[in-house]
Chains A and B, each alone.
Chain A
């Protein structure tokens, strides 16, 4: 078969055809730009978020390297330095932990570095000064410095207490370097010189298995590629080590989560894909629509081309070439605007979210190229898929039909139409059904945006502030005891009456202590059986739990956290079974009870004590006391002891009852409510906790409210942007449908005018058409929004502890007037537009 060289003619024709309808061209190109812009923006945000999240995970891990051995020996390091396929090898040695009294929430790790690389790998390379060289030098993060009460200044004298696996030493050191510590990391870093480090914590030798982490080398390195790090790690170890060492090495192998695929939040991936699909769909709707209209508008000339010998394939190619020309113009424009928009939005996100490590979220040149490639590809794909049907339509046109063509002819042969009374509404309704596809497209895209708005508001309305912060804080302020040190008694009963008095004496403070002691629950026969039931159910999931449960069955008792609380704290407790009867609780014969089992996901399934059961508790001082279970509920987490046994039951009784059973009552935590507006009471509370050597930790509701606002802002922003974009697409589609609908019926409208339809009647008809769209959209979105709300949002909300679901269609109802206004305004404007040509001029067209 000879290949006829007609490509040039076809291309020329394609270009000429494009020139014919400038207005439509602009719309097509704009819609491609929009689609490309959306893809690019999404990719930019997604890319920088992913980048940032990886960086942030690295920071949390505290290492940039792909892999490390946590407890390596010098010979391991030697071995690795000869290994192939790895790079950026470095090591550091843990010397100890900062033991100055200031280190409470924030702890300090003291290490020495094998090289500069080692410090860089840990995000801890001095930006000011350098790493220590002399024995009395130290480099430290600014956060650690500030915790110690110093401003970062080279030459600063620092007295440091170091705890090296239990061995305490004190040193006077000089600051030789510092850097900005990462506030998301509670463990801050510091570097001493290798000289000093080796003295305090000598390097471990093979066979030294004494407890502790100091003196081991932490060796870090990268592989050539980040693909399948786990596999590469296993391979490396087996290639370097003999059998007897394999176990030791495997146990201490640490792979940076930041590189492991699963570290990318699966929710993030789902959301990302959903967005891609959404944009794809939205882009498809609009581009398809315009192409379809464009092709139908040109169908007569296609028919003509066919009559004079153009083949179907050539016609199809022509449409495709046109699509490519559109892409050529639209995609670059979309990429540029998209990258700009993405960067702008990212900045906005960072501002609202108060992201500190901004640099992590910047987009590198390589990533940018990938983003553009991705966006261009997806846009091109969208365009090509959108023009498939119009292509086929152009190819399938028969010369005769095309000459008679008007939009209705596309649909299959219609049956006769029943005669009805002609009103503008009736004519409008007929017009709607004449291109159902267009109607569906417009209604769908408008519906989508309205459903989204409704969903967003349902989400926003459902987020419950109190529930959200209830897991972090109860009341206005919570005071707990520092959990450093191993003195269990001090930790759990550290808030002594005199401390409580100090807070009580602050004006505007209402102090509610949570008294605590660890006790035992004596299980009677029936409850022992229930414990046995738990053992049967969960025994296989966790070995340690099984041991504890077996012991509990055998001893007919298990451990318990006993709390004594006042009525203010009581009001913060939400029972999952039974109800809190204040009168009963007061009289001291009732207790609120909740059982916890380490390896069970569902709290409710492990509650062996139900309201009405009798429970016997062994206090340390006064022995057994019996209560009736009033309700099932755990102690509010923020003021609980925050330490768990594998299997335990919380018992909550009134203060007075608790005092009767404990000789020396002390609190594990305080809930403080303040009634001051200026925050002075809160400030004084905070000051008490900040005193030198104070073991108290202060938490303020305001901090969590801020966090809550951030969450709200994020939902608002993401939802707002998305529904804004969709609304834009919906409206564009609507404008597009109405305008092209009017333009393609220009002649028909002129003819109707000629036989006596006045322009006000025509406008009424067109407005009715708009109203049909609006009504259809309203009905569809009401149904869809209700479904989404009931099926998706409700389910999603149940998974979120801070969500309280309410069904609402109010936002949707608010959208309807807007929709109606648009549906009336757009046709009027479009009609005015065609009326610029006289009836005669319009009649003469193609005539």
Chain B
């Protein structure tokens, strides 16, 4: 089943002289349960693509379908609500709300939605990520790797249709990066979660089920899963 699909996605920043085509007619499909890596050099348009996929920014033209629903027909407010139900984000840094403790951060999107978290499931996720001992700590008491694991837990806890991660290990040393990435992959499989992850690191990309290559705003390889 296709969870995520784009049609002719194009994003142009600025206008006239300073016009930048960050994304040019990108077409892409991601299947349920897949772990896809988007790889490309710095400035090639990876983040731009991810932001479109997650409904954080609107494209200049083109469409994005999540779970078969076209997301940009939604108004901002509705889009945000859609996001907290269907999409889990993991950013490179500054993922957590500094005044909320670890557990609160994890259930934050669920509670924003006015629903009660499925405590057993949240506990399972927390245990799977090995952060069970630090649920009442505040983010600034955690190491960078721990913070990223909490961010992954938050993304998983809401049982979204898809998790989008923008260089989640960009700020970590290579040992920690390895740990975090393995966890992301393992837990993704365990909870049969669809994951799209950005990286500019070939080695990291190799861990993925599929590699989507992007150059100068064009998807050159792996837009459609041809397996």
* Residues of A near any B CB (own CB < 8 A): 404, 406-409, 413-414, 416-423, 427, 430-431, 433-434, 747-748, 751-761, 838-840, 843-844, 847
- Whether a CB of chain A sits under 8 angstroms from the CB of B51 is yes
What are 10 pairs between A and B in contact, CB < 8 Å? A406-B98, A416-B138, A417-B138, A418-B101, A434-B99, A755-B154, A756-B80, A758-B80, A840-B51, A840-B57
Chain B residues, Cβ within 8 Å of A421: 111
Other-chain contact of B80, A407, A408, A419, A759 (Cβ < 8 Å): A759
Give the top 3 A-B pairs by smallest Cβ distance, nearest first: A756-B84, A430-B99, A416-B136
Task: Tell me, in angstroms, the Cα distance from A843 to B81 when the chains sit together.
Answer: 19
Other-chain contact of A419, B83, B94, B101 (Cβ < 8 Å): B101
- Whether a CB of chain A sits under 8 angstroms from the CB of B118 is no
Question: Are the CB atoms of B93 and A847 closer together than 8 Å?
Answer: yes
Among A427, A754, A757, A758, max chain B CB count under 10 A is at A754
- Whether a CB of chain A sits under 8 angstroms from the CB of B27 is no
Chain B residues, Cβ within 8 Å of A433: 99
Question: Are the CB atoms of A419 and B136 closer together than 8 Å?
Answer: yes
Task: Tell me, in angstroms, the Cα distance from A421 to B101 when the chains sit together.
Answer: 11
What's the nearest-Cβ distance from chain A to residue B138, in Å? Answer: 6
Look across to chain B and name the residue whose beta carbon is closest to the beta carbon of A749.
B97
- Whether a CB of chain A sits under 8 angstroms from the CB of B190 is no
Question: Are the CB atoms of A758 and B111 closer together than 8 Å?
Answer: no
Chain B residues, Cβ within 8 Å of A420: 104
What's the nearest-Cβ distance from chain A to residue B142, in Å? Answer: 11
Chain B residues, Cβ within 8 Å of A751: 91, 94-95, 97
Chain A residues, Cβ within 8 Å of B83: 754-756
Other-chain contact of A839, B56, B84, B104 (Cβ < 8 Å): B56
Chain B residues, Cβ within 8 Å of A422: 100, 104, 107-108, 111-112
Task: Tell me, in angstroms, the Cα distance from A414 to B135 when the chains sit together.
Answer: 15
Chain A residues, Cβ within 8 Å of B91: 751, 754, 843
Task: Tell me, in angstroms, the Cα distance from A423 to B93 when the chains sit together.
Answer: 24
Question: Are the CB atoms of A756 and B94 closer together than 8 Å?
Answer: no
Look across to chain B and name the residue whose beta carbon is closest to the beta carbon of A844.
B47
Question: Are the CB atoms of A755 and B57 closer together than 8 Å?
Answer: no
What's the nearest-Cβ distance from chain B to residue A836, in Å? Answer: 13
Question: Are the CB atoms of B104 and A754 closer together than 8 Å?
Answer: no
- Whether a CB of chain A sits under 8 angstroms from the CB of B103 is yes
What's the nearest-Cβ distance from chain A to residue B94, in Å? Answer: 6
Among B100, B111, B113, B158, max chain A CB count under 10 A is at B100
Other-chain contact of B112, A407, A761, A843 (Cβ < 8 Å): A761
Question: Are the CB atoms of B57 and A419 closer together than 8 Å?
Answer: no
Other-chain contact of B98, A408, A413, A416 (Cβ < 8 Å): A408
- Whether a CB of chain A sits under 8 angstroms from the CB of B32 is no
Chain B residues, Cβ within 8 Å of A434: 98-99
Question: Are the CB atoms of A756 and B109 closer together than 8 Å?
Answer: yes
Task: Tell me, in angstroms, the Cα distance from A416 to B81 when the chains sit together.
Answer: 30
Look across to chain A and name the residue whose beta carbon is closest to the beta carbon of B96.
A751
Look across to chain A and name the residue whose beta carbon is closest to the beta carbon of B52.
A840
- Whether a CB of chain A sits under 8 angstroms from the CB of B137 is yes
Task: Tell me, in angstroms, the Cα distance from A404 to B171 when the chains sit together.
Answer: 12
Chain A residues, Cβ within 8 Å of B99: 408, 427, 430-431, 433-434
Chain B residues, Cβ within 8 Å of A417: 100-101, 104, 136-138
- Whether a CB of chain A sits under 8 angstroms from the CB of B54 is yes
- Whether a CB of chain A sits under 8 angstroms from the CB of B89 is yes
Task: Tell me, in angstroms, the Cα distance from A760 to B112 when the chains sit together.
Answer: 11
Chain A residues, Cβ within 8 Å of B100: 417, 422, 427, 430
Look across to chain B and name the residue whose beta carbon is closest to the beta carbon of A418.
B136
Look across to chain B and name the residue whose beta carbon is closest to the beta carbon of A841.
B57
Question: Are the CB atoms of A408 and B94 closer together than 8 Å?
Answer: no
Other-chain contact of A754, B54, B101, B113 (Cβ < 8 Å): B54
Look across to chain B and name the residue whose beta carbon is closest to the beta carbon of A422.
B111
Chain A residues, Cβ within 8 Å of B141: 413-414, 416
Task: Tell me, in angstroms, the Cα distance from A818 to B88 when the chains sit together.
Answer: 41
Task: Tell me, in angstroms, the Cα distance from A409 to B158 when the chains sit together.
Answer: 29
Chain A residues, Cβ within 8 Å of B77: 758-760
- Whether a CB of chain A sits under 8 angstroms from the CB of B60 is no
What's the nearest-Cβ distance from chain A to residue B104, in Å? Answer: 6
Chain B residues, Cβ within 8 Å of A838: 56-57
* Contacts A756-B113, A844-B47 known; 16 new A-B pairs at CB < 8 A: A408-B140, A413-B141, A414-B138, A417-B104, A418-B136, A427-B97, A431-B99, A434-B98, A751-B91, A753-B80, A755-B89, A755-B109, A756-B81, A756-B108, A756-B109, A757-B84
Chain A residues, Cβ within 8 Å of B103: 419
- Whether a CB of chain A sits under 8 angstroms from the CB of B92 is yes
Chain B residues, Cβ within 8 Å of A760: 77
Chain B residues, Cβ within 8 Å of A756: 80-81, 83-85, 108-109, 112-113, 158
Chain B residues, Cβ within 8 Å of A840: 51, 56-57
Task: Tell me, in angstroms, the Cα distance from A754 to B81 when the chains sit together.
Answer: 10
Task: Tell me, in angstroms, the Cα distance from A724 to B112 when the chains sit together.
Answer: 41
- Whether a CB of chain A sits under 8 angstroms from the CB of B202 is no
Question: Are the CB atoms of B84 and A755 closer together than 8 Å?
Answer: yes
Task: Tell me, in angstroms, the Cα distance from A748 to B97 when the chains sit together.
Answer: 7
- Whether a CB of chain A sits under 8 angstroms from the CB of B70 is no
